[in-house]
Chains A and B, each alone.
Chain A
Amino acid sequence: MMELLQYDFIRNALISTVLVSIACGIVGTYVVTKRLVFISGGISHAAFGGIGLGYLLGINPVLMAIPYSILSALGIGVMSQRTNVSEDTAIGILWTVGMALGIIFINLSPGYAPDLFSYLFGNILTVPNFDLLLMVLLDCVIVGAVALLHREFAALSFDEEFAQVSGVPTRFLYLLLLCLVALSVIVMIRVVGIILVIALLTIPVAICRQFTERLMTLMLLSILTGIIITLFGLWLSYVLDLSSGATIILALGAAFLLVSLFKRTKKSSP
């Protein structure tokens, strides 16, 4: 294992595991408790439009996906707050239109898109240094926002109407929360890919919420769990020579199943 660490790609993989787990533990806690899973799916898939636009314009696709996914997050949020379109309809539209735009943009791009597959399904072993830096930056934004606004986010997630009555600027914070989801999607794209993002946002939190009744503890536990299981999945994919993103997700799914079964048998035989 020690000699493995000398390889840049392994080192980058380990660092991105930690960075991804931080984003997922924090944002995922709100995604799960405020039930934003579907909306997050919409935001992550819409981000594919940004990837395609990056190819077309010759800009780093992950960089291009940042403004793009933030705009689609705001689009979904505003559409469901201000218009008569119901939220899940708004999500469905942006989800598919984003994907379709991405494909068209790539069609229009000169040449072909060699690592397109890795944006869809991720490849933790090919995270470039620049993207790593970007991930650090986005993690800082996410941690900073939640450090400053965790009281408001907690109130918003628990009881939106009461939060509003207490003077919490709920509309603004809801949109901000969706933007944080968008940023965490960007952090994850390289590692698990757009299609598998939701698993990393939800499964660590779903596992950990069976063990704690406090929001902050849930975040920290989820980060730790994310790191451990992602590393395990990474190792497994290395040993079995399988796709890393998918193996990580399967490891997460298996862990969730095991923990839930364990919890149930413990409950039924006190």
Chain B
Amino acid sequence: MPNSGVVSLKNVTVVRGGETVLEDLTLSVDESDFLAVIGPNGSGKTTLLKVILGLIEPDAGDVWIVGHEPKDARMRIGYLPQKFDFDHSFPINVFDVVLMGRYSGLFHRYTKDDRDATEMALATVGMSDFLDRQIGKLSGGQIQRVFLARAIVKDPRLLLLDEPTASIDPEMQSSFYELINELKEKMAVIMVTHDIGVSSVHVDKIACINKKLFYHGSVEGGLKHIEELYECPVEIVAHGVPHRVMGRHDHK
């Protein structure tokens, strides 16, 4: 039966290429939650988001998104992917990229409402001055904002952010978090991040995963588990971005 809440995962297991990527994961997100998902590289965070989006079918378990199957709930989910692997010379401008987020079905033309919503979303992310700019002629942080606008342009109930701050400089990061802080008033947010230091200031709950769910609850209670989570796989952690997770933690 569909559960209440925006996201409800029950005993979800995902196997990819013979390897268990997510194991027996149970997780729920309510109407106005801001949940940070934390875990080392390869722990299945992106996979979790793709399960929520219905891009990956779980091998076991149930997923309900606003009371629907993931595929039927897509219209209500905004998604900011981890990697923007698009062709930077693609002939499209910022406005049209965001307008694509308003797609509503075969043969539906984009309406004036869609255009207005696009302008609003671009204003929200502070990119109104770049409507006509070809998408590749923007900085990394600006592209990030445009894609965020594309994610929120249809007023989703749920916003999924996959490591949104990994590729932007610290100054842009704090304004990015302010932006997310405004957005979370209007929609539930799930953010995958390594940057616990900053994120814990804003988030309501955290989920620590590494294949399995290690912790799901308030931020304060989670800090102990983050230590646990990052302690064993130090090598894995040290390879990638999240040096700073160790750093911050050591200082405490």
Contact = CB atoms under 8 A, between A and B. Distances in A.
B147 to A, nearest CB: 8
Nearest to B103: A166
A219 to B, nearest CB: 10
The winner among B55, B105, B110 for most chain A CB atoms within 10 A is: B105
B81 A161 contact: yes
B79 A167 contact: no
A166 B110 CA distance: 14
A157 B90 contact: yes
A166 B90 CA distance: 19
A155 interface: yes
A35 B89 CA distance: 12
Interface in B105-130: 105-110
Contacts of B91: 33, 209, 212-215, 217-218
Interface of A: 33, 35, 148-149, 151-152, 154-155, 157-159, 161-169, 209, 212-215, 217-218
B105 A158 contact: no
B74 A148 contact: no
A215 B93 CA distance: 10
A209 B92 contact: no
B190 to A, nearest CB: 14
Interface residues of B, number: 28
A162 B110 contact: no
Interface in B51-106: 53, 55, 74-75, 77, 79, 81, 86-87, 89-93, 96-97, 100-101, 103-106
A33 B100 contact: no
A147 to B, nearest CB: 10
B150 interface: yes
Contacts of A215: 91-92
B134 interface: yes
Nearest to A164: B55
21 contacts: A33-B87, A35-B87, A149-B107, A151-B100, A151-B103, A151-B108, A154-B100, A158-B90, A162-B100, A162-B150, A165-B55, A165-B79, A166-B100, A167-B74, A167-B75, A209-B89, A213-B92, A214-B91, A214-B92, A215-B91, A215-B92
- Which DSSP category, helix, strand, loop or mixed, fits chain B's interface? loop
Nearest to A35: B87
A76 B79 CA distance: 30
Contacts of A151: 100, 103, 108-110
A217 B97 CA distance: 16
Given A35-B87, A161-B81, A213 B105 contact: no
Nearest to B53: A165
A35 B90 CA distance: 11
Nearest to B100: A155
B79 A169 contact: no
A246 B92 CA distance: 33
Given A151-B103, A167-B103, A218-B91, 8 more contacts: A33-B87, A152-B106, A154-B96, A159-B86, A162-B81, A166-B74, A213-B91, A213-B93
B86 A158 contact: yes
B183 to A, nearest CB: 18
Contacts of B150: 162
Contacts of A218: 91
A213 B103 contact: no
Given A151-B110, A155-B103, A159-B86, A165 B92 contact: no
Contacts of A209: 89, 91
